[in-house]
Amino acid sequence: MSEPRVELVRSWRGTPPRERQETRRRQLLEAGLEVFGSEGFRAATVGRICREAALTNRYFYEHFSDREAALRAVYDGLVEEAFQRVAETLRGGDGPLEARVMAAVDTYLSFSMEDPRRPRVISVESVGVNPAMEAHRRGVRHRMADLFAQEYRRSVRAGTAVDRPFDKQALALVGAANELVIDWVLSDRSRTREELSEDMAGVFVPVLRERRTS
C-alpha cells in the first residue's frame, strides 16, 4: 500500500507562496492606480505598471491577462470601496429623504476628491476600453442608482414619500452626479467639495422634495 502524497509548499524567507502572490497583487494594483490615475489608460503599458510596482513583467501575467484586466481590477477595487462608504452613510442616516441622500453624495465626493486618481479611473479612464468593460460600467451605475432607489422606498414605507416608481429617476441622478465629477476631474480642480456638493444639491434636492408627502 503506497504512502499518501504530501504536498510540500516552500517558503521564501519564511513567507508562504500564497502570501507573496497576494503582496505582489497589491503592489500591482497600487501601481495600476498610480499609472491609470495619473498618466491615463492609453499611456499605460504592462512594462510601465511593472516598473511602478518594482516587479518584473512575469509577475504581472501571474495575475492579469493584459492591461485591460488590470484596469478592471483597479476599477472594481475603487468601486467596492465607494459602495461600502455610501451604503454605510445611508444605513446610518436620518432626517428628510433629501438630507440622507445628500449625505451619501457628500460621502462619495469625499472619497473622490481626497485622491483625484480615483474618479479619473472610475469615470474617465475606464470609458470605451472594450464592450465588456462598458457593460460592466453600466451595471455599476445601475447598482449605485439602486442604493438611492432603496433609500427612496424606505421613505415610502415610512409614509414620508409618495409611492411612485423612482428607479429611472435614481439612474438619471447618478448620471448627472457622474458628469459633474468628470467635469471636476478634467477641467476644474480648483472647485471645493462644498461647491461641488452645492451643484449636486441643485440637481438632487428638487427631485426628492417634489416627492415628499410632507
Q: Using H for helix, E for strand and C for coil, what is the string for 95-129?
A: CCHHHHHHHHHHHHHHHHHCCCHHHHHHHHHCCCC
- Which amino acid is it at 74? V
Using one digit for the tens of pLDDT, what is the confidence trace for 120-156? 999 999 999 999 999 999 999 999 999 999 999 999 9
Query: What class, spelled out in words, does domain 72-209 have in CATH?
Result: mainly alpha
pTM exceeds 0.85: yes
Residues 59, 50 contacting (CB under 8 angstroms): yes
- Distances, alpha carbon 209 to alpha carbons 105, 155, 203, in Å: 16, 12, 11
Using one digit for the tens of pLDDT, what is the confidence trace for 177-214? 999 999 999 987 888 999 999 999 999 999 998 888 76
How many Å apart are CA 182 and CA 79, to the nearest integer?
15
How many Å apart are CA 197 and CA 192, to the nearest integer?
9
Nearest alpha carbon to residue 121 among 167, 185, 202, 174 = 185
Q: Is 50 exceeded by the pLDDT of residue 105?
A: yes
Q: What's the average model confidence in pLDDT over 50-71?
A: 96
The predicted pLDDT at position 10 comes to: 47
C-alpha cell at 177: 452626479
According to the CATH classification, is domain 12-64 in 2.40.30.10? no
The predicted pLDDT at position 11 comes to: 47
The predicted pLDDT at position 140 comes to: 97
The predicted pLDDT at position 1 comes to: 46
Q: What is the chain's mean pLDDT, rounded?
A: 91
How many Å apart are CA 140 and CA 132, to the nearest integer?
13
Nearest alpha carbon to residue 130 among 33, 214, 202, 41 = 41
Using one digit for the tens of pLDDT, what is the confidence trace for 4-20? 544 444 445 667 878 88
C-alpha cell at 138: 453600466
Q: What's the average model confidence in pLDDT over 20-43?
A: 96
Report CA torsion sign: 178, 126, 40, 122: positive
Q: Which has more pLDDT, 168 or 3?
A: 168
In which band, very low, low, confident or very high, does the pLDDT at 71 lie, cut at 50, 70 and 90? very high
Q: What's the average model confidence in pLDDT over 162-187?
A: 94
How many Å apart are CA 133 and CA 138, to the nearest integer?
9
Nearest alpha carbon to residue 90 among 170, 163, 164, 169 = 170
The predicted pLDDT at position 13 comes to: 61
How many Å apart are CA 208 and CA 76, to the nearest integer?
29
CA angle 93, 161, 176 (to 5 degrees): 70
% of the chain surpassing 70 pLDDT: 93
Q: Is 80 exceeded by the pLDDT of residue 3?
A: no
Q: Where are the domains of the chain?
A: 12-64, 72-209
- E strands within 120-176? none
The predicted pLDDT at position 14 comes to: 64
